[in-house]
DNA sequence: CGAGTGGTGGACCGATCGGTCAAGAATTAC
DNA sequence: GTAATTCTTGACCGATCGGTCCACCACTCG
């Protein structure tokens, strides 16, 4: 045993994630990372490896947390149809979040062709999300809110595509009201049925 | 008059666009641009200004050309409903194009928060596209293929969001068959009606 | 309390970044 | 043919890049 670390690993990952989220991977310099974490180069490199590894680590942390939130939301919403609607509408929750977009989506657009590990992480994430949503679709079918002949996986993929489309529209700076209306329109067509109580 | 240029401006812009498309803005170095264009630094700078200006120029060229293609497709398709379906399905036309995504979409994800000019270009482009598609929606209403009470602009925005969602899913490397199925699913729900003859 | 261990901070590195500039080559106008 | 003018080439610039390394320090353990 010797001198203990003077930083909290989670806090560092959180700061790093925000930096990459706001500026992107390539546009974030090592100096930026030192500034937002308050660490020295030696500490950062000893703890996380180089810039790319640190990025992948932050990205994984982000997707894990997001996955947890999604599962919790899907599971805790009484009516599955409402959960699915909330899922699609998520990118529209507030204007700030809408412009920021999704770290995984931003990273995919920036790096999917250049970094195989990012691409792998993207596929992993979206397959996991699809599975989670599909499970919820099945529940909605049991509850009589989604036609029983619909393929759950295919339905989940369509909902995910719609959601990602909204994420993207938000990133273009579309006004939040307009974005919300578009989201409602998509939800109404993809998930028809009695409105939320 | 004096020595004429030894390069074709359009060829250069084309090469530059492809480079930015494949690697992104930040990850493209000046050296990359010299390589793909075959020009020297002086020529490039004299003709187009710095890297950022050149990028914006290539981006504008890209959106103009895309807009032209879209208008032509929408106008030349006999049945408006088919044109709308083709519009949504466009990102799925082939696997290569699907992985490459859309230069404007990629650029928006990478730079929307950092470069106001890119954001402006994004809004301009998507508003123009919405207008074009909305016009086609009106035609589809005249032809009895879209409910007359639907708001054309709102319908166009929903279709655009769905299309951009598909663009993004393609960028994650989703297999082309799966992507096509998802696209069909979205089209069937957002644009119901008699199938294409 | 002294030795040993691991963390920290910053000096330092070569490479590469975007960008400038000047000298020479190619062309036109006269 | 010559002068004027534009384009081309590549040497060169300071800044910054990501990354390494080491002297110093704080802490634990015996």
Residue B1 has what pLDDT? 62
**Cβ atoms B152, B141 nearer than 8 A:** yes
Residue B136 belongs to a domain: yes
SS3 of residue A12 by DSSP? helix
- CA atoms of B13 and B155, how far apart (whole Å): 34
Residue B89 belongs to a domain: yes
**Overall domain count for chain A:** 1
Residue B8 belongs to a domain: no
Residue A70 has what pLDDT? 98
Helix runs in chain A, H state only: 9-23, 30-37, 41-48, 51-76, 80-89, 95-100, 103-111, 116-142, 152-171, 176-190
Residue A67 belongs to a domain: yes
Is pLDDT at A68 greater than 70 in this prediction?
A: yes
Residue A59 has what pLDDT? 98
How far: B27 CA to D25 C1' (Å)? 39
Residue B28 belongs to a domain: no
**Which residues of chain B carry a pLDDT beneath 50?**
none
Is pLDDT at A1 greater than 70 in this prediction?
A: no
Residue A76 has what pLDDT? 98
How far apart are the CA of A6 and the nearest CA of chain B, in angstroms?
A: 32
Q: How far is CA B59 from CA B15, B107, B167, B193, in A?
A: 12, 9, 17, 36
Residues of chain B contacting A27 with CB distance shorter than 8 Å: 26, 110, 114
Q: Which of B97, B99, B127, B168 to mutate to test the interface with A (most CBs of A within 10 A)?
A: B168
- CA atoms of B156 and B167, how far apart (whole Å): 16
Residue B170 has what pLDDT? 97
Residue B64 has what pLDDT? 98
Residue B197 has what pLDDT? 59
ipTM of the complex: 0.93
Give mean pLDDT, residues A113-117: 95
User: Per-residue confidence at A41, pLDDT binned at 50, 70, 90?
Assistant: very high
How far: A66 CA to C15 C1' (Å)? 38
Residue B21 has what pLDDT? 98
Asked whether the beta carbons of residue A112 and residue B173 sit closer than 8 angstroms, the reply is yes
Residue B13 belongs to a domain: no
Sign (positive/negative) of CA torsion B63, B115, B37, B92?
negative
Residue A132 belongs to a domain: yes
Is pLDDT at A2 greater than 80 in this prediction?
A: no
Instruction: Give the chain B residue whose CA is nearest to the CA of A159.
Output: B186
Q: Range of B155's domain?
A: 56-190
User: Per-residue confidence at A116, pLDDT binned at 50, 70, 90?
Assistant: very high
Residue B19 belongs to a domain: no
Residue appearing with tokens 């398709």:
B77
Nearest by Cα to A24 from B23, B116, B91, B114: B114
How far apart are the CA of A163 and the nearest CA of chain B, in angstroms?
A: 7
Could you check: is the Cβ of residue A7 within 7 Å of any atom of nucleic acid strand C? Answer: yes
How far apart are the CA of A158 and the nearest CA of chain B, in angstroms?
A: 6
Residue B141 has what pLDDT? 98
CATH number at residue B128: 1.10.357.10
Asked whether the beta carbons of residue B158 and residue A186 sit closer than 8 angstroms, the reply is yes
Give a three-class secondary structure readout of chain B.
Answer: CCCCCCCCHHHHHHHHHHHHHHHCCCCCCHHHHHHHHCCCHHHHHHHHCCHHHHHHHHHHHHHHHHHHHHHHHHHHCCCHHHHHHHHHHHHHCCHHHHHHCCHHHHHHHHHCCCCHHHHHHHHHHHHHHHHHHHHHHHHHHHCCCCCCCCCHHHHHHHHHHHHHHHHHHHHCCCCHHHHHHHHHHHHHHHCCCCCCC
Sign (positive/negative) of CA torsion B147, B153, B155, B156?
positive
Q: Would you tell me the crossing angle of helices B51-76 and B9-23 to the nearest 10 degrees?
A: 90
How far: B113 CA to D15 C1' (Å)? 24
A76, two tokens: 């805790």
Residue A143 has what pLDDT? 97
């Amino acid at each position: 045993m010797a001198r203990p670390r003077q930083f909290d690993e989670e806090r560092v990952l959180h700061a790093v994630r925000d930096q990459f989220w706001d500026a992107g991977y390539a546009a974030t310099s090592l100096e930026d990372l030192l500034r937002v974490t308050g660490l020295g180069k030696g500490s950062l490199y000893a703890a996380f490896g180089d810039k790319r590894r640190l990025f992948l680590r932050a990205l994984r942390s982000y997707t894990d947390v997001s996955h947890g939130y999604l599962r919790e939301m899907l599971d805790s919403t009484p009516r599955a149809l409402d959960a699915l609607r909330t899922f699609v509408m998520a990118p529209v929750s507030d204007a700030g979040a809408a412009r920021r977009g999704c770290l995984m989506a931003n990273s995919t657009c920036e790096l999917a062709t250049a970094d195989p590990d990012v691409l792998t992480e993207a596929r992993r994430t979206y397959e996991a999300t699809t599975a989670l949503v599909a499970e919820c679709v099945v529940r909605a079918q049991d509850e009589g809110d989604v036609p029983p002949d619909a393929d759950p996986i295919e339905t989940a993929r369509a909902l995910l595509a719609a959601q990602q489309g909204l994420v993207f529209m938000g990133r273009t700076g579309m006004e939040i009201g307009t974005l919300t209306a578009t989201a409602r329109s998509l939800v109404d067509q993809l998930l028809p049925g009695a409105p939320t109580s």
